[in-house]
Amino acid sequence: MRFVLALPLAAALAACSTAPVPAPGAGGDHRGESAADTQHLTAVLKANMHERGQAKMDRIELDEAQRLCNQHADKPPAEEARRMEEAQLKTIPFPTGSLIGDWKAGEKIAQSGRGMTWSDKPGNSGGSCYNCHQISPKEEAFGTIGPSLAGFGKLRGNRPEIQQYVYGKIYNAKAYNACSQMPRFGRSGTLTEQQIKDLTALLLDPASPVNQ
Protein backbone atom coordinates (compact mmCIF):
# COMPACT_ATOMS: atom_id res chain seq x y z
CA MET A 1 0.00 0.00 0.00
CA ARG A 2 1.54 3.25 -1.09
CA PHE A 3 1.62 6.50 0.75
CA VAL A 4 -0.78 9.08 -0.59
CA LEU A 5 0.37 12.59 0.08
CA ALA A 6 -3.00 14.20 0.35
CA LEU A 7 -3.86 11.97 3.29
CA PRO A 8 -3.02 13.09 6.79
CA LEU A 9 -0.08 11.27 8.32
CA ALA A 10 -2.20 9.42 10.89
CA ALA A 11 -4.55 7.99 8.29
CA ALA A 12 -1.63 7.06 6.07
CA LEU A 13 0.07 5.33 8.98
CA ALA A 14 -3.01 3.27 9.66
CA ALA A 15 -3.29 2.36 6.01
CA CYS A 16 0.36 1.50 5.62
CA SER A 17 0.91 -2.13 6.49
CA THR A 18 4.54 -2.48 5.45
CA ALA A 19 7.61 -0.50 6.61
CA PRO A 20 6.96 1.66 9.67
CA VAL A 21 7.36 5.43 9.20
CA PRO A 22 10.45 6.62 11.12
CA ALA A 23 10.13 9.33 13.75
CA PRO A 24 10.81 12.87 12.49
CA GLY A 25 14.54 13.54 12.38
CA ALA A 26 15.48 9.88 12.75
CA GLY A 27 16.59 9.76 9.11
CA GLY A 28 15.68 6.93 6.76
CA ASP A 29 12.61 8.76 5.50
CA HIS A 30 13.53 8.79 1.82
CA ARG A 31 10.60 6.87 0.41
CA GLY A 32 9.83 6.49 -3.26
CA GLU A 33 6.99 8.33 -4.94
CA SER A 34 3.95 6.53 -6.31
CA ALA A 35 2.61 7.76 -9.63
CA ALA A 36 -0.07 9.63 -7.66
CA ASP A 37 2.59 11.19 -5.39
CA THR A 38 4.58 12.40 -8.39
CA GLN A 39 1.47 13.85 -9.97
CA HIS A 40 0.53 15.59 -6.73
CA LEU A 41 4.02 17.04 -6.15
CA THR A 42 4.22 18.30 -9.73
CA ALA A 43 0.82 19.95 -9.29
CA VAL A 44 1.90 21.59 -6.00
CA LEU A 45 5.05 22.94 -7.66
CA LYS A 46 3.08 24.26 -10.64
CA ALA A 47 0.47 25.91 -8.44
CA ASN A 48 2.99 27.64 -6.18
CA MET A 49 5.87 28.60 -8.47
CA HIS A 50 6.29 31.17 -11.18
CA GLU A 51 8.83 31.55 -13.96
CA ARG A 52 11.68 33.95 -13.38
CA GLY A 53 14.43 34.82 -15.85
CA GLN A 54 15.52 31.73 -17.73
CA ALA A 55 13.92 29.43 -15.13
CA LYS A 56 10.67 28.66 -16.93
CA MET A 57 7.82 26.53 -15.63
CA ASP A 58 8.71 23.60 -17.91
CA ARG A 59 11.56 22.86 -15.50
CA ILE A 60 8.99 21.39 -13.12
CA GLU A 61 8.10 18.63 -15.60
CA LEU A 62 10.05 15.41 -15.06
CA ASP A 63 11.79 13.41 -17.73
CA GLU A 64 11.85 9.62 -17.60
CA ALA A 65 15.10 9.41 -15.61
CA GLN A 66 13.88 11.83 -12.95
CA ARG A 67 10.52 10.12 -12.71
CA LEU A 68 12.10 6.70 -12.19
CA CYS A 69 14.67 7.97 -9.67
CA ASN A 70 11.90 9.65 -7.67
CA GLN A 71 9.84 6.48 -7.86
CA HIS A 72 12.68 4.31 -6.57
CA ALA A 73 14.10 6.80 -4.05
CA ASP A 74 17.29 6.87 -6.18
CA LYS A 75 17.78 3.12 -5.77
CA PRO A 76 16.21 1.40 -8.79
CA PRO A 77 16.40 -2.40 -8.95
CA ALA A 78 19.47 -3.60 -10.90
CA GLU A 79 17.58 -4.55 -14.05
CA GLU A 80 15.69 -1.26 -14.10
CA ALA A 81 18.92 0.67 -13.48
CA ARG A 82 20.57 -1.06 -16.44
CA ARG A 83 17.69 -0.11 -18.74
CA MET A 84 17.77 3.46 -17.48
CA GLU A 85 21.52 3.76 -18.07
CA GLU A 86 21.19 2.31 -21.55
CA ALA A 87 18.53 4.85 -22.44
CA GLN A 88 20.64 7.72 -21.10
CA LEU A 89 23.75 6.52 -22.95
CA LYS A 90 21.83 6.91 -26.21
CA THR A 91 21.44 10.64 -25.52
CA ILE A 92 25.20 11.29 -25.73
CA PRO A 93 26.41 12.52 -29.14
CA PHE A 94 30.07 11.50 -28.88
CA PRO A 95 32.20 13.73 -31.12
CA THR A 96 34.70 11.97 -33.37
CA GLY A 97 38.43 12.48 -32.88
CA SER A 98 40.23 13.62 -29.76
CA LEU A 99 38.07 14.58 -26.80
CA ILE A 100 40.92 16.42 -25.10
CA GLY A 101 40.45 20.19 -25.21
CA ASP A 102 42.34 22.91 -23.31
CA TRP A 103 42.83 22.09 -19.62
CA LYS A 104 43.36 25.78 -18.74
CA ALA A 105 39.94 26.64 -20.11
CA GLY A 106 38.66 23.53 -18.33
CA GLU A 107 39.98 24.79 -14.99
CA LYS A 108 38.01 28.04 -15.44
CA ILE A 109 34.84 26.10 -16.26
CA ALA A 110 35.39 23.84 -13.23
CA GLN A 111 35.78 26.91 -11.00
CA SER A 112 32.66 28.69 -12.21
CA GLY A 113 29.48 28.04 -10.27
CA ARG A 114 27.41 30.22 -12.55
CA GLY A 115 24.73 29.19 -14.97
CA MET A 116 21.11 28.14 -15.37
CA THR A 117 19.65 29.92 -12.31
CA TRP A 118 16.96 32.59 -12.59
CA SER A 119 19.60 35.20 -11.74
CA ASP A 120 22.06 34.09 -14.45
CA LYS A 121 21.83 35.28 -18.03
CA PRO A 122 21.30 32.37 -20.43
CA GLY A 123 24.54 30.83 -21.69
CA ASN A 124 28.02 31.28 -20.25
CA SER A 125 27.54 28.49 -17.75
CA GLY A 126 30.26 26.94 -15.69
CA GLY A 127 30.39 23.39 -14.43
CA SER A 128 30.36 24.07 -10.66
CA CYS A 129 32.81 21.14 -10.49
CA TYR A 130 34.72 22.30 -7.40
CA ASN A 131 31.43 22.63 -5.53
CA CYS A 132 31.43 18.84 -5.20
CA HIS A 133 34.85 17.48 -6.23
CA GLN A 134 38.49 17.87 -5.34
CA ILE A 135 40.24 18.35 -8.69
CA SER A 136 43.44 20.41 -9.02
CA PRO A 137 45.66 20.19 -5.92
CA LYS A 138 46.06 23.99 -6.12
CA GLU A 139 42.42 24.58 -5.21
CA GLU A 140 41.85 23.98 -1.52
CA ALA A 141 38.21 25.13 -1.46
CA PHE A 142 36.59 22.02 -2.90
CA GLY A 143 33.42 20.20 -1.97
CA THR A 144 33.02 16.58 -0.96
CA ILE A 145 29.62 15.57 -2.34
CA GLY A 146 31.34 13.77 -5.21
CA PRO A 147 34.56 11.72 -5.15
CA SER A 148 38.00 13.31 -5.33
CA LEU A 149 39.28 13.58 -8.89
CA ALA A 150 42.86 14.47 -7.90
CA GLY A 151 45.32 12.53 -10.03
CA PHE A 152 42.46 11.24 -12.19
CA GLY A 153 44.40 10.88 -15.44
CA LYS A 154 47.63 9.89 -13.75
CA LEU A 155 45.89 6.81 -12.38
CA ARG A 156 43.98 5.93 -15.53
CA GLY A 157 45.93 7.27 -18.50
CA ASN A 158 44.12 8.95 -21.39
CA ARG A 159 43.33 6.18 -23.82
CA PRO A 160 40.37 6.84 -26.15
CA GLU A 161 38.06 4.67 -23.97
CA ILE A 162 38.95 6.75 -20.89
CA GLN A 163 38.36 9.97 -22.86
CA GLN A 164 34.96 8.61 -23.93
CA TYR A 165 34.04 7.73 -20.38
CA VAL A 166 34.99 11.16 -18.99
CA TYR A 167 33.28 13.03 -21.82
CA GLY A 168 30.19 10.86 -21.49
CA LYS A 169 30.08 11.11 -17.71
CA ILE A 170 30.13 14.91 -17.84
CA TYR A 171 27.62 15.00 -20.69
CA ASN A 172 25.21 12.61 -18.98
CA ALA A 173 26.26 11.11 -15.64
CA LYS A 174 23.08 9.05 -15.52
CA ALA A 175 24.30 6.90 -18.39
CA TYR A 176 26.82 5.38 -15.98
CA ASN A 177 24.93 5.52 -12.68
CA ALA A 178 21.17 5.66 -13.15
CA CYS A 179 20.38 8.00 -10.26
CA SER A 180 23.72 9.80 -9.92
CA GLN A 181 23.49 13.07 -7.97
CA MET A 182 25.61 14.72 -10.69
CA PRO A 183 23.78 16.99 -13.15
CA ARG A 184 23.68 15.94 -16.80
CA PHE A 185 25.73 18.89 -18.04
CA GLY A 186 25.49 18.18 -21.76
CA ARG A 187 21.99 16.71 -21.81
CA SER A 188 20.62 19.72 -19.86
CA GLY A 189 22.20 22.18 -22.26
CA THR A 190 24.40 23.63 -19.54
CA LEU A 191 27.79 23.00 -21.14
CA THR A 192 28.79 22.96 -24.81
CA GLU A 193 30.75 20.24 -26.58
CA GLN A 194 33.90 22.38 -26.40
CA GLN A 195 33.45 23.06 -22.68
CA ILE A 196 33.09 19.34 -21.96
CA LYS A 197 36.24 18.64 -24.01
CA ASP A 198 38.07 21.29 -21.96
CA LEU A 199 36.92 19.64 -18.73
CA THR A 200 37.97 16.25 -20.09
CA ALA A 201 41.41 17.78 -20.69
CA LEU A 202 41.51 19.09 -17.13
CA LEU A 203 41.11 15.52 -15.87
CA LEU A 204 43.18 13.65 -18.47
CA ASP A 205 45.83 15.90 -20.03
CA PRO A 206 49.22 14.88 -18.59
CA ALA A 207 50.08 18.63 -18.46
CA SER A 208 47.05 19.44 -16.31
CA PRO A 209 47.81 20.23 -12.66
CA VAL A 210 45.36 17.45 -11.78
CA ASN A 211 47.95 14.93 -12.96
CA GLN A 212 51.10 16.47 -11.53
* Residues contributing to the site for other proteins (CB under 8 A): 3, 5-12, 24-27, 29-31, 33, 37, 41-42, 44-45, 47-52, 55-57, 59-62, 65-66, 69-70, 73-74, 116-119, 130-132, 141-145, 174, 181, 183-184, 188-190
CA separation for the pair 67, 32 (Å, rounded): 10
For residue 98, the minimal CB distance to other proteins (Å) is: 28
Report the residue number, 69 or 196, with the smaller CB distance to other proteins. 69
- Residue 75 or 82: the one with the smaller Cβ distance to other proteins is 75
> How far from 163 is each of 135, 167, 189, CA to CA, in Å?
17, 6, 20
* CA 135 – CA 100 distance, rounded (Å): 17
Taking the CA atoms of residue 89, residue 91, residue 92 and residue 94 in that order, the dihedral angle to the nearest 10 degrees is 110
Which uninterrupted H or E stretch holds 166? helix 160-171
In the complex, least distance from residue 118 CB atom to other proteins, rounded to whole angstroms: 6
* CB distance 33 to 41 below 8 Å: yes
The residue among 9 and 207 lying less far from other proteins, judged by its C-beta, is 9
CB 178 within 8 A of CB 76: yes
Q: How far apart are CB 33 and other proteins at their closest, in Å?
A: 7
CB of 57 to other proteins, least distance (A): 6
CB nearer to other proteins: give 153 or 186: 186
